[in-house]
Structure 1
């Protein structure tokens, strides 16, 4: 399983492109995913919903207004209807041909690479019938189970995924673990492989507790150099960022400094 390669203390922290390379292209579009692959990011994170006719579609919000020229909820449109909306011009006119992609299209792209694919199920506020089953079926179809990680703020969704396919890696999304009662016991009960906390609350104590219990930590969403450098010092397993290329550069610089220090 590719996830097992993300080891605390390893020489390379995994850099995961948040909604693709969303710092330079419209988030959760093929343009953003292709740019993440072009810079050789270690992974891609995306968000999924279901269309009215049950197609798995990639978008962060439950509604269309922020990232397309449409309005209303994704679940109220069929796949064909969703394809009428421009998903790129809000970011820049050069992306006016971008459309909301299907998860299947992204999987066809990713299967040609060694990327880790982090799929977030957006089920915390909307019930999507059998979305877990549909995602698992697609990952099996494209032989990407060993290269995928399912995350969600909805712990019931994560539990369901583990029942459907125990070997599929899962991650609990949480803003600040230290604010949740019996957090670590909950994580153990869920049998998650990783925890995805907000970088603002990540501490050495959380890293130590996660390591003691066998959980990996992939944190979101640092974009500033000083934030990324701090997380590298904490030895987080993965950094989920809108600017993966910047994170790669900082990682190379940090490795260079450490190499020089070790020779002194």
Structure 2
């Protein structure tokens, strides 16, 4: 199921004028890996994503047309000049050093933030306006924004970015808009946020995604201006239900990184996970099995022989012994010393640095072993970012009993006689067949979708294969080449 020809990898942009686009610019794998290794070691602050009490999907929390003459109640002009005039809200920032903001709203785990934005004047085409996605009422850092430059067709015309507690920029994704915002033109922008995930739409077209938002659990929304005078109208914030796994019409297929970016780095390691994340993967896929002392580790094979310098069955080795093994040299000398992560370590990395996990419980597990896995997912506050899949029906039944909040996927090498029936029986969110199995009976895509069940198909690494599955309307593709599939998605428009 795995190919080992390294794909290109996108790099993170460390400054506000980020230059690497998520879906276009490519950098050599091993150069990116040097940066990744340092990033993985550095870690980041932990954040939680609690669902607010009394969540009300569909409720409109903010709807403002600025028909009055004063700032709306509850809106706080933190810095800069903000005024309501002629049915619009105007914000002014005199220079590129001023990230002026007005805050409002309340914390929402899942919401859609829409606004009509018009640049009235700019000091340069690089200056920007932004929708604040997670911003304290005081404007204090850290905060997250979705940025649009006046010169929006530049490679970094649209961005997702964080202003850190150190007052530095962390630009996670960039892209070019299809048309220039310019000055004097209304642009309708919308950001759909689901926990750490966000999708950016520009004049009704989805352009950019991120899985890297770190949510505060307390902060609300904001509008920003930088080196410009910008007017805003028709600001609307609508609470959404938690993200469904079914693919929205017109959206690209979800990219699921098989054992991380396993064509570019040693599989099922944190460096493979980081490369996949930087390449734009929507999900990381892994394999979990216990050590002899019951600690879940991330490993595909029943033994450590192929992917480490050790020997023996994972279930016969202690966690202490497993942590001494070199899990990188087999792939390339550059990765010497890479360690097998525990499930807890992998989840902590996803929680702090961004991303969602398709967690495969590999092989037969007892109920107690599944319970240990569930407990770790909960301890890491990742229940809203983990989907559990397995070939083992008993494993899925145990998971459903122990953690009904976790979505489930059934892996299949050959199709069941009635995929909808078994999906309904097991309470599945996804049915996950091999590509060959699905192509033997493609009509099941419609059958499953009509039953509200998504399809994540494995493991496909070629554009021709992606095209077949995309045409069938599958919801996600598991691939060893996530960065290439991200780029392929973008090329389809």
Structure 1 counterpart of 2:427: 191
Residues 25 and 186 from structure 1, CA distance in 2 versus in 1: closer, same or farther, beyond 3 angstroms?
Answer: same
Is 1:211 matched with 2:449? Answer: yes
C-alpha displacement of 1:65:
1.1
Q: Deviations over 1:40-66 (max 9, x none)?
A: 211100000000111110000011111
Q: Deviations over 1:92-127 (max 9, x none)?
A: 011111111101111111012552210000124xx4
C-alpha displacement of 1:253:
1.1
Poorly superposed stretches of 4+, deviation over 4 Å: none
| RMSD (Å) for aligned C-alpha atoms | 1.6
Q: Which moved more, 1:228-237 or 1:24-33?
A: 228-237
Residues 10 and 151 from structure 1, CA distance in 2 versus in 1: closer, same or farther, beyond 3 angstroms?
Answer: farther
The answer to whether the Cα contact below 8 Å between 2:461 and 2:479 also exists between their aligned partners in 1 is: yes
Structure 2 counterpart of 1:139: 377
Structure 2 counterpart of 1:20: 260
2:268 is paired with a residue whose SS is: coil
Rounded Cα–Cα distance in structure 1 between residues aligned with 2:320 and 2:457: 35
Is 1:181 matched with 2:421? Answer: no
Is 1:58 matched with 2:298? Answer: yes
Q: Deviations over 1:65-97 (max 9, x none)?
A: 111111110010111111221111111011111
C-alpha displacement of 1:188:
1.1
Of 286, 311, 315, 1:46 maps to: 286
Q: Deviations over 1:25-47 (max 9, x none)?
A: 01001110111112221110000
Residues 171 and 60 from structure 1, CA distance in 2 versus in 1: closer, same or farther, beyond 3 angstroms?
Answer: same
Unaligned runs of 5+ residues in structure 1 are: 256-264
Structure 1 counterpart of 2:350: 110
Rounded Cα–Cα distance in structure 2 between residues aligned with 1:106 and 1:20: 11
Rounded Cα–Cα distance in structure 1 between residues aligned with 2:245 and 2:466: 20
Residues 182 and 14 from structure 1, CA distance in 2 versus in 1: closer, same or farther, beyond 3 angstroms?
Answer: closer
Rounded Cα–Cα distance in structure 1 between residues aligned with 2:404 and 2:354: 22
Rounded Cα–Cα distance in structure 2 between residues aligned with 1:53 and 1:196: 31
Unaligned runs of 5+ residues in structure 2 are: 1-193, 195-241
Structure 1 counterpart of 2:327: 87
User: TM-score, length-normalised on structure 1?
Assistant: 0.90
Aligned length: 251
Rounded Cα–Cα distance in structure 1 between residues aligned with 2:306 and 2:370: 25
The answer to whether the Cα contact below 8 Å between 1:49 and 1:128 also exists between their aligned partners in 2 is: no
Structure 2 counterpart of 1:119: 359
Rounded Cα–Cα distance in structure 1 between residues aligned with 2:368 and 2:243: 25
2:357 is paired with a residue whose SS is: strand
Rounded Cα–Cα distance in structure 1 between residues aligned with 2:328 and 2:265: 8
Rounded Cα–Cα distance in structure 2 between residues aligned with 1:10 and 1:153: 31
Q: Deviations over 1:217-262 (max 9, x none)?
A: 001100011111211111110111000011011111112xxxxxxx
Rounded Cα–Cα distance in structure 2 between residues aligned with 1:51 and 1:85: 13
The structure showing larger relative contact order (alpha-carbon pairs under 8 Å, at least 6 residues apart) is 1
Rounded Cα–Cα distance in structure 1 between residues aligned with 2:361 and 2:243: 18
User: TM-score, length-normalised on structure 2?
Assistant: 0.49
C-alpha displacement of 1:181:
3.3
Is 1:235 matched with 2:473? Answer: yes
State which structure, 1 or 2, has the greater radius of gyration over its C-alpha atoms.
2
